[in-house]
Structure 1
Amino acid sequence: MTNCVLCKDELKPEEGEVIWRGDDCRVVLVNDPDLPGFCRVIWNRHVAEMTDLTYSEREHLMTLIFAVEEAMRHVMHPDKVNIAALGNMVPHIHWHVIPRFKDDAFFPGSAWSSKTQDTPISIIESRKQKAQQLPAAIRAAIATLA
């Protein structure tokens, strides 16, 4: 599918950065100004639903998602981690792994809710600094899976 935004190999800097890529999946650190540390785990091949994958592919994907979550918890120390797969806007398997904090702009709603509060800039900046450690932590977590 040539018009799928998740099928393209390159990201614009404002979209984020690919921090790990395997044969089947890649992990992207999303450039989200309100939610530093937001990651996506994207299936490389254009597939719309989890049940389109084999059992071993599903297990592989979920193992990667949990590795990202574990690294995120270690680095970011969030109050909660949201893991979501929607695909309503982009029908290509991808999972959102999002560190959530009680003072983030959308808490307690989802990352796609209306803002409920303003997070102080100093806190956002501190989280951006922590998020800079995520790529190495995620790569290390995935390396232990091999």
Structure 2
Amino acid sequence: MGEVNDWKSDRISSAYRGENPMVITKLKSGFAVIGDTQFLPGYCLLLPYRYVNSLNDLDYQQRTEYLLDMTIIGDAIQEVCSPKRINYSIYGNTDAFLHAHIFPRYTWEPEERKFNPVWQYPKNKWTDGKYHYTDEKHLGLKNTIGETLVTLSKSAY
């Protein structure tokens, strides 16, 4: 029997198998998932249905669907969490496959953080267990984002 977090080593395949607990819902281009850390409540990602290196590896139709789904996740976060803005980022430097980060940004963030990329937050925001997603603290948020995503994606396609 595997470890409790085996799903983290293959997030897309584990989502297909129903073993990735972070999956919110399926969208046209991939899986909407809630972020492992929630120091910015509502942080989500979009995982494509198949591993590709970058957005450029998708054909034009797939890119269009992926980027639209990414913004639909942003719309859902906006509606549920009421942040000041939504930041989108696609890197792939650490986890070398396409995945999009969708970060809400809030007026209550510390002044020294408001105008910087979210990646410049201190390491403890990413690693300290008190910021990690748990069903006890975040399941309601995850479910509400999911319900909103289903509604929004139906009207988008």
Question: Is 1:143 equivalent to 2:142 in the alignment?
Answer: no
Distance 1:35 1:132, change over 3 A: farther
How many Å separate the matches in 2 of 1:30 and 1:93? Answer: 15
Root-mean-square deviation (CA, aligned residues, Å) is 2.8
* AA matched with 1:40: L
Q: Deviations over 1:35-59 (max 9, x none)?
A: 1100101112110111110000000
User: How many residue pairs end up in the alignment?
Assistant: 132
Shift of 1:4: 5.8
**TM-score, normalised by the number of residues in structure 2:** 0.71
Alignment partner, residue 89 of structure 2:
84
Matched residue, 2:133? none
Counterpart position of 1:58: 63
Cα deviation, 1:41-99, whole Å, max 9, x if unaligned, reads: 11121101111100000001011111111121112111111100011001111111111
Q: Which has the higher helix share?
A: 2
- 1:88-99 residue pairs with structure 2 within 5 A? 88-99=93-104
Whether 1:101 and 2:112 are equivalent positions in the alignment is no
Matched-pair contact (CA < 8 Å) for 1:36–1:131: no
**Alignment TM-score, normalising by the size of structure 1:** 0.76
**Alignment-mate amino acid for residue 56 of structure 1:** Q
Describe the SS at the equivalent of 2:37.
coil
8 A Cα contact 2:29 2:69, kept in partner: no
Q: Distance in 2 between matches of 1:110 and 1:145?
A: 29
Q: What stretches of structure 2 of length at least 5 have no aligned partner?
A: 1-7, 126-137
How far, CA to CA, are the matches of 1:139 and 1:7 in structure 2? 20
Structure 1: gaps spanning 5 or more residues: 119-127
Distance 1:25 1:131 in 2: 17
